[in-house]
């Protein structure tokens, strides 16, 4: 009954897509449990590059059942564009199923996302403008529209009319914008109805059945721990719960059915959008990380902010998620550096913080305390075994293990599926 959660331990873009893909040969089902098409998960197979926004990253394996669970917010236009694109490239999304309880991202959600960012001005969150926050807000306010509502035209229209009554008033009266028309939305959504009907399931029932039959289910998070609505750097967060606990809620599985939790950690740190980032490097080293790591957003193309690995964050992520293992990605990007920094604590107003600070002001204003490690300065991207890495690269990995107290079971040294080293041998997903 192995349920394995894959979770980002930083601010997203840790390489979750790559690791989910690498593990998918061993699993029967891959479940996206939260977020929406704010996510961008990259999988590279030779010359082929896939950028998944809503589809679970295991979708390209014919034996895998991809599931979009109840905790996800679904933009149907994006979903079907992604499916069509995949099929055009000769892959099938035939097995994809979608929870009837997942909420729909509506056109007015995208509009409100953009308007709210504009209104915030300098205080803007830097959202992906995909309507994610407004969709989750409507879900919590109980005025959202769910995938299953599409199966009943009367209910869909009733809910849409009720929602639009209020939305249109705000749009016209507060923002001076044009109102949305019920008819236009109904028409555009009903083109998807037949296509979606055959895919709508009780995903919680299906996932639990798989687990009870002893099959292996991978739960793929979007975003990362510090973008978590409750535990991240609020308000500079997303509107869902990427942390491992979110997998239980988002997928409808009990905590006792989760056997392993793997944290995906970039060998340095990136962040897109606003918010505190203690180890951000504004100098040439940050630039080098961005250039060599090709740190441009998979979804919005924005340049990612870059900085050094932050152990204070990572230790907190290990605790919040209950990490069993770490998969360390993009180690190859650090090959360029003579010295590599690891942040082991923060200093603020004469006080040293080794534990994630209670007050977020500390994160905004602190000075990172670094340990410096010698770089290895040679290409490691073609190395096939962990033991063959230069000693200094192994030392860096071992130092992270020691500081966080969690084994690093996979080290990624390039974008490709094969560019992964396993310090402890094959990851045994079955081990209790």
Q: Which residues are catalytic?
A: 13, 41
Q: Is 128 in the site for ligand IMO (CB under 6 A)?
A: yes
Going residue by residue from 41 to 60, which x/- string records binding to ligand GDP, judged by CB under 6 A? xx-x----------------
Q: Is 13 in the site for ligand GDP (CB under 6 A)?
A: yes
Question: What stretch of H or E contains 415?
Answer: none
Residue 418 makes CB contacts below 8 A (sequence gap 6+) with none
Q: Among 5, 6, 9, 17, which residue interacts with ligand GDP (rule: CB under 6 A)?
A: 17
Answer whether 205's CB lies under 8 Å from 93's CB.
no
CB of 22 to ligand GDP, least distance (A): 9
Closer by beta carbon to ligand IMO, 33 or else 61: 33
Q: Is 221 in the site for ligand GDP (CB under 6 A)?
A: no
Residue 50 makes CB contacts below 8 A (sequence gap 6+) with 17, 42, 43, 44, 57, 60, 86
Q: Coil, strand, or helix at residue 402?
A: helix
CA distance 74 to 250: 13
Question: What stretch of H or E contains 414?
Answer: none
CB of 271 to ligand GDP, least distance (A): 12
Q: Among 13, 28, 82, 228, which residue interacts with Mg ion (rule: CB under 5 A)?
A: 13
Answer whether 17's CB lies under 8 Å from 57's CB.
yes
Return the structure tokens found at 407: 């084994």
Per rule CB under 6 A, count of chain residues that contact ligand GDP: 21
Answer whether 414's CB lies under 8 Å from 421's CB.
no
Q: Is 130 in the site for ligand GDP (CB under 6 A)?
A: no
Q: Is 259 in the site for ligand GDP (CB under 6 A)?
A: no
CA distance 200 to 99: 6
* Candidate segments 37-45, 81-89, 255-263, 399-407, binder of ligand IMO by CB under 6 A: 37-45
Q: Is 20 in the site for ligand IMO (CB under 6 A)?
A: no
Kindly give the interhelix angle for 107-120 and 132-140, rounded to the nearest 10 degrees: 110
Q: List the single partner that 414 binds among Mg ion, ligand IMO, ligand GDP, none, CB under 5 to 8 Å by kind.
A: ligand GDP
Q: Among 3, 8, 263, 368, which residue interacts with ligand IMO (rule: CB under 6 A)?
A: 8
Q: Is 38 in the site for ligand IMO (CB under 6 A)?
A: yes
* Residue 249 buriedness (CB in 10 A; 0-12 / 13-18 / 19+): middle
Q: Among 3, 35, 36, 40, which residue interacts with ligand GDP (rule: CB under 6 A)?
A: 40
* Candidate segments 33-41, 65-73, 175-183, 406-414, binder of ligand IMO by CB under 6 A: 33-41
Indicate the length of the chain as a whole number: 432
Q: Is 126 in the site for ligand IMO (CB under 6 A)?
A: yes
CB of 15 to Mg ion, least distance (A): 8
Which 370-399 residues touch ligand IMO, going by CB under 6 A? none
CA distance 316 to 412: 22
Q: In 227-276, where do the E strands start and end?
A: 260-266, 269-271
Answer whether 247's CB lies under 8 Å from 258's CB.
yes
Q: Is 304 in the site for ligand GDP (CB under 6 A)?
A: no
Answer whether 396's CB lies under 8 Å from 387's CB.
no
Which 252-311 residues touch Mg ion, going by CB under 5 A? 298
Return the structure tokens found at 132: 């994610």
Alpha-carbon torsion angle 165, 170, 172, 174, nearest 10: 160
Q: Is 329 in the site for ligand GDP (CB under 6 A)?
A: yes
Q: Is 40 in the site for ligand IMO (CB under 6 A)?
A: yes
Contact footprint for ligand IMO (CB under 6 A):
8, 11-13, 38-41, 125-128, 130, 132-133, 222-224, 227, 236, 238-239, 272-273, 298
Contact footprint for Mg ion (CB under 5 A):
13, 40, 298
Contact footprint for ligand GDP (CB under 6 A):
8, 12-18, 40-42, 44, 298, 329-330, 332-333, 412-415
């Amino acid at each position: 009954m192995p349920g394995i959660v894959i979770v980002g331990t930083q601010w997203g873009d840790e390489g979750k897509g790559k690791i989910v893909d690498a593990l998918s040969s061993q699993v029967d089902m891959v479940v996206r449990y939260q977020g929406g098409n704010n996510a961008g998960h990259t999988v590279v197979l030779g010359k082929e590059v896939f950028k998944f926004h809503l589809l679970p990253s295991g979708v390209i394996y014919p034996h895998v059942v991809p599931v979009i669970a109840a905790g996800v917010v679904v933009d149907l236009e994006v979903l079907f564009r992604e499916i069509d694109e995949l099929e055009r490239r000769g892959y099938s999304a035939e097995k994809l199923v979608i929870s009837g309880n997942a909420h729909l991202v509506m056109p007015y959600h995208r509009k409100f996302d953009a308007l709210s960012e504009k209104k915030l001005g300098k205080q803007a969150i830097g959202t992906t403008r995909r309507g994610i926050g407004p969709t989750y807000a409507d879900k919590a306010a109980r005025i959202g529209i769910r995938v299953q509502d599409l199966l009943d035209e009367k209910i869909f229209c009733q809910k849409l009319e009720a929602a639009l009554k209020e939305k249109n008033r705000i749009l016209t009266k507060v923002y001076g914008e044009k109102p949305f028309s019920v008819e236009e939305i109904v028409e555009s959504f009903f083109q998807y109805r037949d296509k979606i009907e055959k895919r709508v399931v009780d995903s919680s029932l299906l996932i639990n059945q798989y687990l009870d039959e002893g099959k292996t289910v991978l739960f793929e998070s979007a975003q990362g721990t510090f973008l978590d609505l409750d535990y991240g750097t609020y308000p500079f967060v997303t509107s869902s719960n990427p942390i491992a606990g979110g997998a239980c809620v988002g997928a409808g599985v009990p905590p006792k059915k989760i056997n392993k939790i793997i944290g995906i950690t970039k060998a340095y740190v990136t962040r897109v959008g606003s918010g505190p980032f203690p180890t951000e490097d504004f100098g040439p080293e940050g630039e080098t990380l961005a250039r060599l790591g090709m740190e441009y957003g998979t979804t919005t193309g924005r340049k990612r902010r870059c900085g050094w690995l932050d152990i204070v964050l990572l230790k907190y992520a290990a605790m919040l998620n209950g990490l069993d293992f770490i998969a360390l990605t993009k180690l190859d990007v650090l090959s360029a550096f003579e010295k590599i920094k690891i942040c082991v604590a923060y200093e603020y107003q004469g006080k040293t913080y080794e534990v994630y600070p209670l007050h977020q002001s500390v994160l905004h204003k602190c000075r990172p305390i670094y340990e410096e490690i010698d770089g290895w300065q040679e290409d490691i991207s073609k190395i096939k075994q962990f033991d063959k890495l230069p000693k200094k690269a192994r030392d860096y990995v071992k130092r992270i293990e020691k500081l966080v107290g969690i084994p690093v079971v996979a080290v990624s040294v390039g974008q490709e599926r094969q560019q992964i080293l396993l310090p402890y041998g094959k990851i045994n997903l079955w081990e209790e």
